Amino acid sequence: MPAIRYENVPVSMPRLDAAGKKYLAPANSVSIAHGAKLNPYRTFAANSLPEMRIAGSTDTKITIAFPMCNKFASDNASFDSYNFGSGVFANLTGTGNADITIGGRIFSGCYLDQLSIDIAPFQAAAMSTSFTCTNPPTGLAMISGQATGESGMNSKFAYGHFAAISGADNYSDNIHSSISFSLDLKRSYSYAISKRNSHRVFLDEASKQLQIKSTNIKTFINESGANSSFSIDLKNESGQLILPSGTLSVSSRGRLTAQNLTVSPPNILTADVTIDEILI
């Protein structure tokens, strides 16, 4: 078997807006954790040995990390898109699921558990995603290498110093050194007789969080926190949006819940604020 190297294991999922086309992830990290749920089984029978017996469905977790990019193959919007992050927000932040292909193997019924995006000046905005796969491939076939590649990518990545911010002046200084956005989803998986895989998946909880690092804060909050809205739009070098405007935001229902100030000579003062918004 030939060696599987990072440059020939493409990661993708189907585009719902263009039949037969894919969202490709310019992934720099992929992890698949797959295991069987087994429990020890012991009896009082004479001369019997303990066994391992099935205690649940297979448990498959997938994590994918990649820089944010909006490159279309051959610069044609009807072709494959390298904006995997756009597909995650469009298709998976609610009750939907998708098939994720990694190196030619299809992991069906993948539900988003968590995503985070880290933004800083002169660095490509980095997105990390975690999924639960309800119908993983089984058998002896393993991930295989496939040829892939695309040129003209550099100008399509979203760097922090191209981003546009609104709402931050309500609670922090207007000089921001980093911003982190996260979305957490909690689900319940229901199983039925005669069904090998999950029969129903319910979205139980959803929440957003923004963590912002700046050079100062304006006022300290009291025990009730403070209402705070915020939005950041990611753009590439040409000013093109990577995600629809307002995707990375908290509404007026967001609450400023934490503030931290740090200073140590000869460094300037740094401030961290956290905004939480409960969606479900």
The whole-number pLDDT of residue 64 equals 96
Distance CA 131, CA 147 (A): 25
List, in order, residues 6 or more apart from 19 with CB less than 8 Å away. Answer: none
Report the distance separating Cα 180 and Cα 225, nearest Å.
Answer: 20
Integer CA distances (angstroms), 192 to 23, 54, 136, 189, in order? 32, 16, 18, 10
Q: How far apart are CA 21 and CA 43, in angstroms?
A: 54
**Scanning the structure block, which residue is given the tokens 């000869």?**
266
Burial of 63 (0-12, 13-18, 19+ CB in 10 A): middle
Count of CB atoms situated within 10 Å of the CB of 99: 14
Sequence length of the chain is: 280
Q: Do residues 8 and 147 lie in contact, with contact meaning Cβ atoms separated by under 8 Å?
A: yes
SS3 for 133? strand
Q: What is the pLDDT of residue 118?
A: 97
Q: Count CA atoms within 13 Å of residue 55 on its CB side.
A: 10
Q: Residue-wise pLDDT tens for the chain (280 aa)?
A: 455 555 567 889 999 888 889 999 988 899 999 888 888 888 887 777 778 888 778 889 999 999 999 888 877 888 889 899 999 998 999 999 999 998 888 999 999 999 999 999 999 999 999 999 998 887 655 555 555 566 778 889 999 999 998 876 656 666 788 999 999 999 998 888 888 778 889 999 999 999 988 887 777 888 788 888 889 999 999 899 999 999 999 988 888 888 888 887 887 778 888 999 999 9
- Whole-number pLDDT of residue 171: 64
pLDDT (0 to 100) of residue 53: 86
